[in-house]
Amino acid sequence: MSAVPKIDAPLACPTLSWRNRFAALGERFYTTMPADPVPNPRWVAVSDSCARELGFPHDWWQREDWHALEVFSGNAQWPGMQPLASVYSGHQFGVWAGQLGDGRALWLGEVDTASGPVGLQLKGSGRTPYARMGDGRAVLRSSIREFLGSEAMHALGIPTTRALCVTASPLPVRREQIETAAVVTRVAPSFIRFGHFEHFSYQLGPEEGHDALRRLADFVIEHQMPECRDAANPYAALLETATRRTAELIAQWQAVGFCHGVMNTDNMSVLGLTIDYGPYGFLDAFDPGHICNHSDEQGRYAYGRQPSVAFWNLHALAQALLPLIGESDDALAALEPYKTVFPRALMSRMRAKLGLATERDTDQALVDALMTRMAQDKVDFTIAFRRLSGFSTADDADNAAVRDVFIDREGFDAWARDYRDRLRAESSVDAERAVAMNRVNPKFVLRNHLAEQAIRQARGDDFSEVQRLLKVLERPFDEQPEHSAYADFPPDWAQHIEVSCSS
């Protein structure tokens, strides 16, 4: 592994002070190491939105004295960076996988921002001790998908890791075929996963492991969940906080039609962030059984199973924290809120998607009836809800725009009568409701075929579509008539796109 030179750049990040609080935990938690350089790096895309949150100037990536391209390709370090790869374990597809870790990722350190300290991490920066025979690289296609997916989810208002930039290199990488390397820079308040806790609960002996487990939990409470400090049982409070945040997150996923694809415990953030954009996808035709990951042969992580899988993963986290929590009843009590928080959060979002300003006991039945009809007719999820914003409560309205996306028109008409009655019961005003619904029902999501088109161009060294698509996805709720093609029904060939764990 080649050493990475430090650059003497006095103007590099003049407003930033680098630190890495995670490093204070000690060497049981990580391995300090440099990135493995790549040849001839070049910019694919940068997120101006993410850069602003970090306090970077608008031209940060173009400043020659910053050497940013080299830094964020893993070829150099700014003064103060402390690259390290963390160790964790986890359950993969429901099976204990033992030790895992950052096999191709390095935490560079943290910077202070207006919203608090955030960490930066390179993904695809080379082999680490946790690579498990892997090459430590990420390929261009998956790196583009992670970059766009992260920023698209942020624009949708869904908790997620961010992506500052993605760089590419002609370095060959073997997957199913020879591809080229790329590096994504991820940004988040923390990259700590359920699997970090599992590792120290199970992998080491009780004395050493449980001491490390306590240190990790105390670290999270001190820096990420200070509200847990004064609880009667701070570790149970940590678990309950993770439970509530995860419940809210999954409700947001379901409401926007997002499928993660690999909800292993090592891919679950203790902060309730969407993390690890591998074989993810947004629903086209609505199908509760949709499997976005070609590697998921049993459908464990199908769209409709995500809520129950998240609860399963939380039980795994609870088991890992049990040596600190003490009583199993206390751990179970900390998990209990999921059963009410998730359905309440999801129903709240579905009411908003339907433009309902009040709550009624019949709302669940109204939502269920719509989703049943959408599943029967394989109705496009995003388009249907966006068009529903134009629904008219007038007696003579045919509401053709949304009606025509259903095969069973009479079935839709029956539902529409109930919907119209419900809207009238709360004196809903069509124009006002349309504005409110368009704030929660996106017009643009990162469909697989849009990502695929950008990737195909990028493989020819044309990154313009990645950059263009990023700009569209940063404003998912706006009409953007000049980009209406990005909101069209997917082409027939999109049905044959396969996304797997290979990246």
Among the listed residues 36, 102, 266, 284, the single catalytic one is 266
Q: Give the pLDDT band of residue 19 (cuts 50, 70, 90).
A: confident
Burial (0-12, 13-18, 19+ Cβ within 10 Å), 261? buried
pLDDT value at residue 497: 81
pLDDT of 11 higher than 50 = no
> Running DSSP on this structure, what letter comes out for residue 389?
T
pLDDT of 243 higher than 80 = yes
Q: What is the pTM of this model?
A: 0.95
Q: Give the pLDDT band of residue 41 (cuts 50, 70, 90).
A: very high
Distance, in Å, from the CA atom of 211 to the CA atom of 146, rounded to the nearest integer, reads 35
Which pLDDT tens digit goes with each residue over 102-159?
A: 999 999 999 999 889 999 999 999 999 998 888 999 999 999 999 999 999 999 999 9
Tell me the average pLDDT across 87-108. 96
Tell me the average pLDDT across 235-256. 98
pLDDT of 373 higher than 60 = yes
Which pLDDT tens digit goes with each residue over 152-163?
A: 999 999 999 999
pLDDT of 370 higher than 50 = yes
Which pLDDT tens digit goes with each residue over 50-82?
A: 999 999 988 999 998 889 999 999 999 998 899
Q: Lowest-confidence range among 1-10, 138-147, 479-488?
A: 1-10
Which pLDDT tens digit goes with each residue over 249-303?
A: 999 999 999 999 999 999 999 999 999 999 999 999 999 999 999 998 899 999 9
pLDDT value at residue 7: 55
Q: Give the pLDDT band of residue 496 (cuts 50, 70, 90).
A: confident
> Which residue do the tokens 């009409």 mark?
479
Q: What is the 3-state secondary structure (H, E, C) of 358-369?
A: CCCCCHHHHHHH
Ramachandran angles phi, psi of 218, nearest 5°: -65, -35
pLDDT value at residue 417: 97
pLDDT of 13 higher than 90 = no
> Running DSSP on this structure, what letter comes out for residue 5?
P
3 state SS of 72: coil
Which pLDDT tens digit goes with each residue over 455-467?
A: 999 999 999 999 9
Which pLDDT tens digit goes with each residue over 412-468?
A: 999 999 999 999 999 999 999 999 999 999 999 999 999 999 999 999 999 999 999
Tell me the average pLDDT across 201-208. 79
The per-residue pLDDT of the chain, averaged, comes to 94
Look up 266 and say whether it is catalytic: yes
Q: What is the 3-state secondary structure (H, E, C) of 445-480?
A: CCCHHHHHHHHHHHCCCCCHHHHHHHHHHCCCCCCC
